[in-house]
Amino acid sequence: QLASDHKLLCCYDCCMRCLGGVPYCSLVATLLCFSGIALFCGCGHQALTETERIIETYFARNLQDYITLAYIIQYFQYVIYGLASFFFLYCIVLLAEGFYTTSAAKQTFGEFRSTMCGRCLSSSFIVMTYVLAVLWLLVFALSALPVYFFYNMDATCHTIDVLTETPASINQLCVDARQYGLLPWNAVPGKACGMTLSNVCKTREYQMTYNLYIAAFAGAGITLMALLTYTVSTTYNFAVLRYLGRKGIGARC
């Protein structure tokens, strides 16, 4: 009985040491980053495809009017592929760095010692993550632009539905894609007005595209939150490596 209790106690202590060495901040940030990037890239890619279809169907009759927009959309879709791959690898690397600088590494490999290489690596991660957070803040702001466009379009459609009894007034309510830079100024028709616009807003393509852009915007926000969390955790890990490493205290972020 004593031997069995001793084994259970050893197993319990081992589990507690393992759980105590988990970099929870980095783990949470990784989950946030994966979910945010999946939302942003998946929904953003499909939303761009649907946007091209809406512009082609309702706002432009000539291929030359929206060919530039089609090339830009294709370019951004390739950028999305690259972003998804890069963030997947970078999040894995940051999570591995978080595990390396936890007390679990100390318990596994003996007394913890911070080296010049380790401190240099941690400081590099801090700078890279900070720069990525600043750049992603710009992406987050830009991802709000299509949401703003579709919000204005939805608000105009709602106004048209309210004023259906006065057709002369609703024909003056328009959404001009040329004003947002989506089409050149010589594009025909370039805009949708009145009941035509209202019918566009009731289509499945419009509703799905609007929701996809909202989801992509939310994904960009989640990714930004993950990068900020990574910045905090990597900064903390560097502080531990620099100031507390020689005392045998492992980072827990």
> How many whole angstroms separate alpha carbon 18 and alpha carbon 55?
55
Domain boundaries, the chain: 25-96+115-247
Per-residue pLDDT of the chain (253 residues; tens, 9 = 90+): 444 555 555 665 666 555 555 667 888 889 999 999 999 999 999 999 999 999 988 888 887 888 888 899 999 999 999 999 999 999 898 888 777 766 544 544 444 455 556 667 777 888 899 999 999 999 999 999 999 999 999 999 888 888 776 666 787 888 988 888 888 888 888 888 888 888 999 999 999 999 999 999 999 999 999 999 988 888 877 776 666 555 544 444 5
Query: What are the C-alpha distances in Å from 166 to residues 21, 110, 155, 160?
Result: 69, 81, 17, 9
- Residue 193: the pLDDT is 87
- Residue 105: the pLDDT is 45
- Residue 252: the pLDDT is 46
Q: Which of 118, 100, 89 is nearest to 30 (CA)?
A: 89
> How many whole angstroms separate alpha carbon 70 and alpha carbon 52?
7
Q: What angle do CA 13, 15, 21 make, to 5 degrees?
A: 105
First-residue to last-residue Cα distance in the chain? 39
**Contact yes or no for 250/112 (Cβ under 8 A):** yes
Token reading at 71 = 């090339």
- Residue 126: the pLDDT is 85
Find the helix packing angle between 116-142 and 144-162, rounded to 10°: 20
> How many whole angstroms separate alpha carbon 81 and alpha carbon 165?
48
Token reading at 198 = 């209202």
> How many whole angstroms separate alpha carbon 129 and alpha carbon 7?
43
**DSSP tag of 244:** I
Q: pTM of the prediction?
A: 0.83
- Residue 118: the pLDDT is 60
Find the helix packing angle between 194-201 and 204-239, rounded to 10°: 60
> How many whole angstroms separate alpha carbon 127 and alpha carbon 133?
10
